[in-house]
Chains A and B, each alone.
Chain A
Amino acid sequence: DIQLTQSPSTLSASVGDRVTIACRASESIINWLAWYQQKSGKAPKLLISKASILGSGVPSRFSASGSVTEFTLTISSLQPDDFATYYCQHYYTYPYTFGQGTKLEI
């Protein structure tokens, strides 16, 4: 199975900060990677698909890049609504797997 490792596991930041979350795959997934945001008690929400394509209605302060095994999600200027847990997920081959999550906190 392809393993995804996110770093850091927890990230402390402030409103207005620029933050980056990394996701490393144990083998090549080309660009079949998605990013999700999950707020406490809610279902995850798709932010990014195919490594860099912004999801419908997702603010432009979110961006992502990467390919093969190294990927990043960047939030250019943190807003109060952005404090949540973020997951990466590959959908290259079965079983699709998720990273362990990065909790973004104040």
Chain B
Amino acid sequence: EVQLVESGGDLVQPGGSLRLSCAASGFTFTTYWMSWVRQAPGKGLELVANIDQHGSEKHYLESVKGRFTISRDNAKTSLYLQMNSLRAEDTSIYYCVRRGEAFDVWGRGTMVTVSS
């Protein structure tokens, strides 16, 4: 079964850091771009970051550039999102997503809350 399972979401203070992880299984991880998509409470969807199969090409949402870093470990079939200098507006559910034919596989998401 194709599966993506996120972890690492938490309550963190403004200015703090958090690292999200996504464990992938059931497919050949090394052949897919991977992404993080977020959704603020009651709001729409927003692509946060993309990474290519080898980890060499990355793209970021403008508002997270310089603060967030996407990475992957193909040996562990895992995707990561390092989030620094967190702001209240980063509060969202963060989904790990496979980029196949469009965004074809989604995890259940992990909640990040930035609040004092």
Contact = CB atoms under 8 A, between A and B. Distances in A.
B1 interface: no
B36 interface: no
B88 interface: no
A43 B109 contact: yes
Contact of B44 (A34, A55, A56, A100): A100
Nearest to B103: A46
B108 interface: yes
Interface stretch (A17-25, A72-80, A88-96): A88-96
Contacts of B106: 43-45
A49 interface: yes
A39 B104 CA distance: 16
A87 interface: yes
Q: DSSP majority for the B interface?
A: strand
A49 B59 contact: no
Given A43-B108, A43-B109, A95-B62, A87 B103 contact: no
Given A49-B101, A49-B104, A44 B45 contact: yes
B89 interface: no
Contacts of A94: 50, 59
Interface of B: 44-47, 50, 59, 61-62, 95, 99, 101-104, 106-109
Interface of A: 34, 36, 38, 42-46, 49-50, 53, 55-56, 87, 89, 91, 94-101
Given A44-B106, A50-B101, A95-B59, 13 more contacts: A34-B102, A34-B103, A36-B45, A43-B95, A43-B107, A43-B108, A44-B45, A46-B103, A49-B104, A53-B101, A56-B104, A91-B99, A94-B50
6 contacts: A38-B45, A44-B95, A46-B101, A50-B101, A53-B101, A87-B45
| 5 nearest A-B residue pairs (beta carbon) | A34-B102, A43-B106, A49-B102, A49-B101, A98-B45
